[in-house]
Amino acid sequence: MASERDVRARLQRSGQEHLLRFWAELAPEPRAALLAELAPLEPEALREHCRRAAEACARSPGPPPGLAARLRPLPPERLGRASRSDPKTRRRWEEEGFRQIALNKVAVLLLAGGQGTRLGVTYPKGMYRVGLPSRKTLYQLQAERIRRVEQLAGERHGTRCTVPWYVMTSEFTLGPTAEFFREHNFFHLDPANVVMFEQRLLPAVTFDGKVILERKDKVAMAPDGNGGLYCALEDHKILEDMERRGVEFVHVYCVDNILVRLADPVFIGFCVLQGADCGAKVVEKAYPEEPVGVVCQVDGVPQVVEYSEISPETAQLRASDGGLLYNAGNICNHFFTRGFLQAVTREFEPLLKPHVAVKKVPYVDEEGNLVKPLKPNGIKMEKFVFDVFQFAKNFVAFEVLREEEFSPLKNADSADKDSPCTARRALLAQHYRWALQAGARFLDAHGAWLPELPCSPPNADPPAICEISPLVSYSGEGLEVYLQGREFQSPLILDEDQARELQPQQP
């Protein structure tokens, strides 16, 4: 282990010697822990990290000068649409996706390094229950979708297949996530096919470029953003593991979307048949000022432009069909070939520019007292997973319906959007629509038919509570055999046991 003298000299070279200001007060064990944390920080890289953080924070917020003239929407030939394509084309995409899954060429990769701070919990978001009748967590829903898509692909192609699940965690989420998976028997997935790995951490920095101490013996560290994926892939030899398994295509997604379709065969098939090395699912923006990044082109190169970088005038622009010109909302749901990820880790990752996140970072003051600030006081530098779009040789986007595929969980229930309540309603409304489409009818407490309202009013529960296990249906398929022509009272919980009871007996 590095000595105090060595570490102090390195900190002086980077202008961060204040990190040892409580050294004399520390016992041997905390001293060792602090040295272990500081030793890996290279002086030049640390100095540059702090300089870039302070410089970036000092820049004026708002759209960069001249950006509007450089923006263009994605060309039509680069954009597929799930809901506006004819059934034959959609079936062709789906068949190709299932074929690749059956060949064991598809993996999913979960971005789960962030904490549930905004949600108001101290554990990883994937462990959260939004209040479904089944009490399932996000992790369980996702695991069961993997199991179902494996089953569907295997049945179509007469084989057994595996979709490996790679889970990128951080120092804060790895332990609780691994323990949670073990406690739940990996949700009946083979543990050998669930690969967890950690992303790197970066020091949080004050507005004047000084690393923050969160305790006398600990630096305030934060995950390096979901774009830290590319360094983590290299650090933990994940791409080599994928190569050994024969994986060629990777579906990357964020943990907090309750409607996410893991290894979506339609999306996978579209990207493969387009010859894409990189792709993004998008949803149509709900309104011009919606705070989501926009997938578009800048100087002819595909990028995600953050909503804060687009002027109100540009956001309001309309296309010839009357829709928003820049309407492709990014939902952190991506397709990559393994070859593209290899190129990124080997060549392009050093070219990614960090983004500034201004946060409230607990710290110790000059007297060593812990301070929990009431307003933002520090900078966390993050890279974004979509920053690599610019390096793609053949980028595509795939538009899906928001009500079918996107309802993120970000805020506590006190918020009016992206909360446990909105996520729960989105899933239950989707399952209610699926049940109606499969021919089910619902009765109220008096036995009268409930109105068939496939589209529930915003911020309202569907007329009847219906939850369908992902193990029974991945995207609404196959429900007619259980539901057609039947009447149910709310709630209907269609799990595997209930499905077996409802399945017609063979003569």
Q: Is the pLDDT of residue 454 over 70?
A: no
Q: What are the beta bridge partners of residue 356?
A: 381
Residues 203, 221 contacting (CB under 8 angstroms): yes
Q: Is the pLDDT of residue 1 over 80?
A: no
Q: pLDDT, tens digit, for every residue of 82-91?
A: 988 999 999 9
- pLDDT grade, residue 104 (50/70/90)? very high
Q: pLDDT, tens digit, for every residue of 110-167?
A: 999 887 888 989 999 999 999 999 999 999 999 999 999 999 999 999 999 999 999 9
SS3 344: helix
For 25, residues 6+ apart whose C-beta sits below 8 A from its C-beta are 216, 368
Residues 330, 304 contacting (CB under 8 angstroms): yes
Lowest mean per-residue pLDDT among 2-6, 217-221, 453-457, 498-502? 453-457
Q: How far is CA 29 from CA 5, 10, 217, in A?
A: 17, 21, 10
The predicted structure's pLDDT at residue 357: 86
Average pLDDT, whole number, for the chain?
A: 93
What is the pLDDT averaged over residues 276-293? 95
What is the pLDDT averaged over residues 234-256? 98
Q: pLDDT, tens digit, for every residue of 296-344?
A: 999 999 999 998 889 899 999 999 999 999 999 999 999 999 999 999 9
The predicted structure's pLDDT at residue 116: 82
Q: What is the CA radius of gyration of the chain?
A: 25
d(CA 262, CA 492): 24
Paired tokens of 466: 């219906």
Q: Using a cut of 0.85, tell me whether the model's pTM lies above it.
A: yes
d(CA 474, CA 495): 12
Residues 276, 269 contacting (CB under 8 angstroms): no
d(CA 278, CA 147): 25
Top-confidence residue, 277 or 457: 277
In the block, residue with structure tokens 């989707």 = 430
One-letter amino acid identity for 203?
Answer: P
